[in-house]
Amino acid sequence: MKKSFSVKIDPFLFFLVLLLVTIGLFAVYSATQTQETEQFNLFNKQLFFAFLGLIVILFTAYIPFKVFEKIAIPFYFFSLLLLVFVYIFGTKGQGITRWLSFGSIKIQPAEIAKLATILMVAKYLSNKEVNINRLKNLGITLLIILTPFILIAKQPDLGTSLVFLALLIPILFWANLNWFTMFVIVAPIFTMILSFNFYAFLVWMLIISFILFISHRKTLILVVVFFFHILVGMVTPQLWGQLKPYQQKRISTFANPESDPKGAGYQIIQSKVAIGSGGIWGKGYMEGSQTQLRFLPAQHTDFIFSVIGEEKGLVGVIFTLIIFLLLLLYLLYLGSIVKSPFASLSIVGVTTVLLSHIVVNVGMTVGLAPVTGLPLPFISYGGSFLLSTLLMIAVINNFSVNRFEV
């Protein structure tokens, strides 16, 4: 629209993000206060990446809208290549290979893969020739999303890989997948969960039978779907046995953290104690005893929200959550007003990634979700993660300022 050298920025989006990043910086400052020598180091690093990210947002706005569509495919394959590289050259951290090192710079390819996969799947589905309700096109869509999922799950990084699974459903939904196929894709998740209890499983299979019956599809398909669920129900308990013990522990102690107060349950208990003791008004900034005395594990990364809960109380929690909520709803609004289907799908993809991070991370701090090691967008310490999150925002900002382009 405006031709001249004006600042291309979505002010509302930028304001919300700036607010969240600021909250994050304050929280990181408080959470790292006890690491005497490290504090300024960690805080300055985070500050640096925050500035870098904001600059990236400003500059990305000037990239022509079309470029994103064009680079989507090479970017996707490049990110897959990086994920493969992790296996070959990866740096080990706590027995898990997630990082690639280039000199002193370490990157986490899984972060890049998120955006790359979103753009790739958006690019593919926005193609006029592609109809998601055709089996071939659906298959390719699944392939695009599940390839990075498997590569990341193998690292192993269960938390991040599950983000890709979460990405799948809203994208397919947004791309108008018919409800029956959607059901066929989503139902197995419930089957897996319910397979641990025989009676719940039985009831669930009755519900499936009913839905299949009213769907009026070909009998062969119905039979295949039905037996697939039976199979899933039988295999899941076996697969559970295949999980690494620490993964099992994380999921089972989520249900009952007191069962292992010294080990896996420790983090959840300490986080709940921190948040619960914060009360409505909180203990005051830099005054949280759980935080300042370092009872909270990973308090500047995964459990940063517990710091907010302890020091700022319920008021701070609701304030932060409302900003997150506004951001997500605004993104959805953008997704429904942009002209380009590619942009719309990308925005929904980013929204979903952010939503799953927020819900899992915040849910984890209050014991509503298992400890999966997903950081909180904009707030958690971590340069690579902050930068990749801001990069996603940068792309959306570009889409927002170019919302009338196709």
Point out which residues bind another protein (CB under 8 A).
34, 125-126, 128, 130-132, 170, 173-176, 262, 270, 272-280, 289-290, 292-295, 309, 313-314, 317-318, 321, 324-325, 328-329, 332-333, 335-336, 341, 344, 348, 351, 355, 359, 362-363, 366-368
| Residue whose pair of structure tokens reads 């947002």 in the numeric block | 57
What is the C-alpha separation between 33 and 38, in angstroms, rounded?
8
Give the nearest distance from C-beta 329 to another protein in angstroms.
6
Give the nearest distance from C-beta 174 to another protein in angstroms.
6
Q: What angle do CA 152, 153, 157 make, to 5 degrees?
A: 80
In the three-class reduction of DSSP (H, G, I as helix; E, B as strand; rest coil), residue 372 is classed as coil
Give the nearest distance from C-beta 383 to another protein in angstroms.
25
Closest CB to another protein among 189 and 231? 189
Closest CB to another protein among 82 and 327? 327
Neighbours of 91 (CB within 10 A): 11
What is the C-alpha separation between 273 and 267, in angstroms, rounded?
10
In which element (H, E) is residue 211 found? Answer: helix 198-215
Closest CB to another protein among 191 and 299? 299
In the three-class reduction of DSSP (H, G, I as helix; E, B as strand; rest coil), residue 322 is classed as helix
Give the nearest distance from C-beta 318 to another protein in angstroms.
6
Q: Please name the residues in contact with 320: beta carbons below 8 A apart, sequence gap of 6 or more.
A: 20, 23, 305, 308, 379
Q: Which two tokens stand for residue 103?
A: 């000199």
Give the nearest distance from C-beta 332 to another protein in angstroms.
5
Closest CB to another protein among 134 and 154? 134
Give the nearest distance from C-beta 367 to another protein in angstroms.
7
Give the nearest distance from C-beta 48 to another protein in angstroms.
28
Give the nearest distance from C-beta 176 to another protein in angstroms.
5
Burial class of residue 319 (count of CB atoms within 10 Å of its CB; 0-12, 13-18, 19+): middle
Closest CB to another protein among 125 and 232? 125
Residue type at 309 in one-letter notation = G
Closest CB to another protein among 58 and 165? 165
Closest CB to another protein among 36 and 88? 36
Query: In terms of Cα–Cα distance, which of 110, 115, 91, 114 is closest to 151?
Result: 110
What is the C-alpha separation between 198 and 291, in angstroms, rounded?
43
Render 48-80 in DSSP notation, one character per residue: HHHHHHHHHHHHHTTS-HHHHHHHHHHHHHHHH
What is the C-alpha separation between 370 and 123, in angstroms, rounded?
33
In which element (H, E) is residue 102 found? Answer: strand 96-102
Closest CB to another protein among 36 and 103? 36
Closest CB to another protein among 91 and 133? 133
What are the φ/ψ torsions at residue 369 (nearest 5 degrees)?
-140, 155
Give the nearest distance from C-beta 114 to another protein in angstroms.
19
| Residues 152 and 166 sit within 8 Å (Cβ to Cβ) | no
